[in-house]
């Protein structure tokens, strides 16, 4: 399960201030993960008649720096900045331009079996692209491990594009209350606006599909 907070950022300077926040830097000390920047290039897929969308399933293949990762997300819900959804990831190894969506990699899971049943013999075709630069670091609150991601990029669809500038704080382990408490403090400190829609949902709205 993926549990995270999402906040819209109006400009890059606010993202830089959060990146350089001294209190967050203290929380990140002692974690195993160093601060890093990676480029992500995502393609979402569906059938021509949008059977996955109609069943609240998102299928994504993403280039994460030099790695390739396939993901399924389903049963998503959000309340203010809080987003909760089921998620299943599968590593595809090193990225190459010949990688295509293969739903059979999830066939051993319950959601994978449902995916194959829904698709049947239909072809999975590109629905949209979501490309962005992500700056990441982890923070240890004492009872929870969180990952901070500052994303800048764009959502690309056949109906046009939309910029991305946002903060995500994901709960890796521990208590959800610690995630929400820290999110509330940052929301007040930086006057953050909760982002109730995922990148995928914003792309669907741009395409007039939801």
| Cα–Cα distance for residue pair 97/58, rounded to 1 Å | 21
Helix H or strand E segment including 93: strand 82-94
Return the domain boundaries, the chain: 2-206
- What are the pLDDT tens digits along the chain (210 aa)? 999 999 999 888 999 999 999 999 988 876 666 899 999 999 999 999 999 999 999 999 999 999 999 999 999 999 999 999 999 999 999 999 899 899 999 999 999 999 999 999 999 999 999 999 999 999 999 889 999 999 999 999 999 999 999 999 999 999 999 999 999 999 999 999 999 999 999 999 999 999
- In CATH, the architecture of 2-206 is Beta Barrel (2.40)
Q: How many residues does the chain have?
A: 210
Other beta carbons within 10 Å of 28: 18
| Confidence at residue 93, expressed as pLDDT on a 0 to 100 scale | 95
Cα torsion 83, 85, 91, 96: sign:
negative
| Beta bridge partner(s), residue 43 | 61, 129
Q: How far apart are CA 193 and CA 40, in angstroms?
A: 24
d(CA 9, CA 147): 17
């Amino acid at each position: 399960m993926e549990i995270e907070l999402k906040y819209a950022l109006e400009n890059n300077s606010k993202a830089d201030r959060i990146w350089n926040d001294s209190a967050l830097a203290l929380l990140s000390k002692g974690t195993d993960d160093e601060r890093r920047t990676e480029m992500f290039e995502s393609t979402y897929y569906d059938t021509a008649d949008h059977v996955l969308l109609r069943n609240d399933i998102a299928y994504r293949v993403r280039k994460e720096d030099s790695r390739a990762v396939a993901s399924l997300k389903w049963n998503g819900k959000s309340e203010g900045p809080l987003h909760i959804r089921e998620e299943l990831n599968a590593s595809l190894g090193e990225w190459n331009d010949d990688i295509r969506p293969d739903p059979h990699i999830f066939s051993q899971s319950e959601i994978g079996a449902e995916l194959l049943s829904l698709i049947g013999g239909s072809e999975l075709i590109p629905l949209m692209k979501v490309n962005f630069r992500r700056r990441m670091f982890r923070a240890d609150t004492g009872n929870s491990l969180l990952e901070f991601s500052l994303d800048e990029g764009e959502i690309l669809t056949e109906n046009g594009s939309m910029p991305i500038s946002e903060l995500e704080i994901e709960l890796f382990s521990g208590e959800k209350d610690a995630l929400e408490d820290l999110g509330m403090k940052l929301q007040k400190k930086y006057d953050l606006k909760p982002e109730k829609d995922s990148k995928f949902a914003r792309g669907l709205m741009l395409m007039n599909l939801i």
